[in-house]
Amino acid sequence: MKVLKKLLIVVGVVSLTSCNQQPNVAPQEPVDSSAIVIENIMTRVSVRQFTSEPIAKTDLQVILKAGLQAPSAMNAQDWQVRIVTNQEMLNTLSGFMLKTEMGKGMAERLGGKNAFANAPAVAFVAAETGDKATAYNREDTALLSENILLTAHALGLGATYQAAPARMINDSAEAKDYLKAAFGFPDNAELINIIIMGHPAENPAVKDRDQSKGRIIE
């Protein structure tokens, strides 16, 4: 559900009404932003099948900005992220990936699709390494990735966090070199995960969570 867009529409209507000072317009109900956020979290699912419709650039900009708004240890922001929509580049990278041992098995499961399930957009999330990076750079990338997943869902898109394709790239010298050359990753960037995104071509149900795994201790 496009909860974020609905919220923006409601806010826009309220602002327009206020500016025009329409005396006969009924007052708008207050927006329960906490309920919107919680519903977005509770209804997010992993989507792996997409239509061919491209994602609007404005939506991708929102997704990227929200991802970069994630918290990080000591505000180090020790991450690098690239959202790629160029299918030729994705197919080239996929060709290198599917030549790896892990990739050969994946190719059979994909049934002719590239290593990214032919997703219209793929986010590549890397952790910065070296002296300026913190010991929590991987944890920071996880926070960034969750922001991307939730924002994509709020915009009515489907997305899935994947670690295996990142391992395939890291295991292939060709893939690693292409990743840095084509997408402009610095030498100190270590790819941690990818996120495939697009307009959903499936509607998977939300899976139950084991509530016994969490406790409140008073």
Whether the CB-CB separation of 164 and 132 falls below 8 Å is answered with no
Task: Identify the architecture of domain 45-198 in CATH.
Answer: 3-Layer(aba) Sandwich (3.40)
What number is the average pLDDT over the span 173-202? 96
Question: What are the sequence ranges of the domains in the chain?
Answer: 45-198
Q: What is the pTM of this model?
A: 0.86
What number is the average pLDDT over the span 121-131? 95
CA angle 187, 85, 168 (to 5 degrees): 50
Query: How many residues does the structure list for the chain?
Result: 218
What number is the average pLDDT over the span 37-44? 96
Give the residue, 1 or 161, on which the prediction is more confident.
Answer: 161
What number is the average pLDDT over the span 192-217? 97
Handedness of CA 104, 106, 112, 116 (dihedral sign): negative
Q: Show the DSSP H helices in the chain as ranges.
A: 3-20, 33-43, 57-68, 87-97, 101-110, 137-154, 164-170, 173-183
What is the reported pLDDT for 22? 52
Please tell me the least confidently modeled range out of 34-43, 106-115, 150-159.
106-115
pLDDT tier, 2 (very low <50, low <70, confident <90, very high otherwise): low
What is the reported pLDDT for 117? 94
Sheet holding 79-84, edge to edge: 79-84, 121-128, 189-198, 158-162
Q: Judge whether residue 59 has pLDDT over 90.
A: yes
Q: Judge whether residue 209 has pLDDT over 50.
A: yes
